[in-house]
């Protein structure tokens, strides 16, 4: 929800102005999420543009003052899913489940000194379904219910994917730490 402009004032604005105030302020958020999901700048730009065009076309259906960012993210995931077959195949969750069963037996600690590039690189390496939930809940701070609505999955799925996504992220970061030769002893003891 836009917190700076009251709902009543938004409702009185011309539609272009309201779109600017409510939607266009999220261009960066949408682009960042698209980039992390798609891992390709060109596609991320195209999808972001598509998201805002679709939002503009159906902006009359959007209720002024409600959560525009969540609405845009819902459109984003719709666009991504729509284009997914055209571009590439996300790893299937079934495969990921098997991967998790065999790999997530402990929660590795997060290395203390890690760069932004390394954390983003680690995020990029976790399967798309988990990455999406981590992005929505941990980065964009959507509530579980909102994330479930955006992804059109049950809230329980969001919770389990978040838990597993975080563990996978830690695992990736632990790999980074191991590549620096740190953290071996600590990890060996944790179950």
Q: Is 39 in the site for another protein (CB under 8 A)?
A: no
Instruction: Looking at the chain, list the stretches that DSSP marks H as alpha helix, in order from N- to C-terminal side.
Output: 7-12, 15-22, 27-38, 41-57, 68-87, 93-103, 116-125, 128-134, 144-151, 155-179, 184-189
Pair 106, 189: CB distance under 8 Å: no
Long-range pairs for 121-126: beta carbons < 8 A, 24 or more residues apart: 121/172, 121/176, 122/169, 122/172, 122/173, 122/175, 122/176, 123/36, 123/169, 123/172, 124/36, 124/39, 125/172, 126/165, 126/168, 126/169, 126/172
For another protein, which is the closer residue by CB, 9 or 24? 24
Q: Is 4 in the site for another protein (CB under 8 A)?
A: no
The DSSP call for residue 191 is -
Q: Is 144 in the site for another protein (CB under 8 A)?
A: no
To the nearest whole angstrom, how small is the minimum distance from the Cβ of residue 92 to another protein?
25
Q: Which residues contact 144 (CB under 8 A, 6 or more apart)?
A: 137, 155, 158, 159, 162
* Coil/strand/helix, residue 182: coil
Q: Which part of the chain contacts another protein (CB under 8 A), choosing from 48-56, 70-78, 90-98, 124-132?
A: 48-56
To the nearest whole angstrom, how small is the minimum distance from the Cβ of residue 111 to another protein?
10
Q: Is 188 in the site for another protein (CB under 8 A)?
A: no
Q: Is 82 in the site for another protein (CB under 8 A)?
A: no
To the nearest whole angstrom, how small is the minimum distance from the Cβ of residue 144 to another protein?
15
Q: Is 27 in the site for another protein (CB under 8 A)?
A: yes
Site string for another protein, 111-130 (x = CB under 8 A): ---x-xx-xx--x-------
To the nearest whole angstrom, how small is the minimum distance from the Cβ of residue 185 to another protein?
13
State the residues that interact with another protein by CB under 8 A.
Answer: 16, 19, 24, 27-28, 30-32, 35-36, 45, 48-49, 52-53, 56-57, 107, 109-110, 114, 116-117, 119-120, 123, 134-135, 138-139, 166, 169-170, 173, 190
């Amino acid at each position: 929800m836009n917190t700076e402009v009251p709902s009543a004032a938004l409702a009185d604005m011309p539609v272009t102005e309201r779109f600017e105030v409510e939607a266009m302020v999220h261009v960066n958020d949408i682009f960042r999420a698209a980039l992390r999901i798609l891992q390709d700048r060109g596609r991320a730009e195209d999808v972001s543009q598509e998201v805002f065009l679709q939002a503009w076309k159906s902006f009359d259906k959007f209720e002024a003052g409600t959560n525009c960012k969540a609405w845009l993210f819902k459109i984003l995931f719709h666009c991504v899913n729509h284009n997914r077959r055209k571009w590439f195949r996300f790893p299937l969750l079934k495969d990921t489940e098997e991967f998790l069963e065999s790999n997530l037996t402990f929660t590795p600690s997060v290395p203390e000194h890690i760069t932004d590039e390394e954390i983003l690189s680690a995020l990029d390496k976790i399967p798309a379904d988990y990455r999406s939930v981590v992005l929505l809940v941990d980065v964009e701070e959507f509530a579980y219910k909102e994330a479930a609505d955006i992804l059109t999955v049950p809230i329980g799925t969001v919770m389990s994917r978040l838990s597993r996504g975080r563990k996978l992220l830690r695992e990736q970061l632990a790999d980074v730490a191991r590549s620096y030769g740190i953290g071996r002893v600590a990890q060996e003891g944790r179950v």
